[in-house]
Amino acid sequence: MPIAIGLEGSANKLGVGIILHPTAPRDDSPPSPHDSAHSEDGASPRRSKHASPPVEILANLRHTFVSPPGTGFLPKDTAAHHRRWVVRLVKQAMKQARVQLEDIDCICYTKGPGMGAPLGSVAIAARTLSQLWDKPMVGVNHCVGHIEMGRAITGAENPVVLYVSGGNTQVIAYSAQRYRIFGEALDIAVGNCLDRFARVLNISNDPAPGYNIEQLAKQGRVLLELPYTVKGMDVSFSGILARVEEMARKLEASRTGADGPRVAHTTNQPTTTDMSTKDTTPLGSDAKTSSAAAAAADKKDTTVPTFTEKEERVMKIAWTCLKSGPPDVDIAKLTKAAGFNTTKTAANTWGAIKKKLLSMGGDGGEEGGEGQGKSLLC
């Protein structure tokens, strides 16, 4: 029974696996593993005698290059990471699999597609091991490797595959001795979309952007409309990314005024972010003539107001409904997004929230400047 060691490093994750392939039963004319599923009378639900026997995973180790939040991974840095870790992972994998050099029959490596520099590092490592151990090399197509891995784990003979990775989003099936693409992303792969989504919102890359997005999504209560397109079997996700970038710009603009961001933390309330700009007046009026703003300026140590659960929810939704900057909120959008029955109810609720925010946010000092009030949106 042949044993293969595989090295994968097409992106920021370096993987080393050792697989035991049971020998398939032989006959006079063994067909392709997929042939039985493409007979003239259609695929049979019964498992074919020619189907590939299940493989045994003896080791499956990986190490990920993690870049700082808000950044991607550069090819040169990723390649250096792979060079630094590949020998250690190979040793650990062989120890875990309890195999010796003489047990290895071939060395597999990712031939592409992927990032050039990381792929080159792994290919050099595989070539070095091949020459040192006198073992044959087997180049593996990255995409086919994903599909065959899924077939091996699930036991599927002839699956229709939704292939989703960092660089690919495709609907694939096997036909006429090859894998064929029946539909795909026309602009940006969903994995890349999620990576850039995390980068825009400064979400951590450890252990993976997609995982962290999923964990944050579990805490959310509001569904926002994000545009995407389906054309037959093809899809387009650039609208999702464009919409997220638009919302992020509005949030960032509200945070980066001359006053800078402020964070108020109270013992009985969650952390509140003060997104202030000098040029926006509270309540759409001159803060200098606002009694609420003047009172807040005169009483820096006043008690921080409390917010109801409903008001906290509305504040979280409101930043997605900005017209230009806080607190200029599109009441019609807020009515729909927050589930208000009428725009009047939404306007009254938002007005009450703004009054509370004004009572805790106005400084009235040199930072605000003469005639310039602070506007807050949490």
Q: Report mean pLDDT in 10-residue bins for the chain, 378 residues.
A: 95 96 64 49 48 84 92 93 97 97 96 95 97 97 92 88 90 91 92 89 87 87 82 90 84 52 25 29 33 36 63 78 69 86 87 75 38 36
Predicted TM-score of the model (pTM): 0.61
pLDDT at 373: 35
pLDDT score at 167: 87
Instruction: Domain 3-40+47-156: state its class.
Output: alpha beta
**Would you state the pLDDT for residue 277?**
30
- State residue 296's pLDDT score: 35
The architecture in CATH of the region 183-251 reads 2-Layer Sandwich (3.30)
- pLDDT at position 287: 33
Predicted local distance difference test score (pLDDT) of residue 254: 66
Q: Could you give the CA distance from residue 341 to residue 331 in angstroms, rounded to a whole number?
A: 12
Where, residue-wise, is CATH 3.30.420.40 in the chain? 3-40+47-156, 183-251
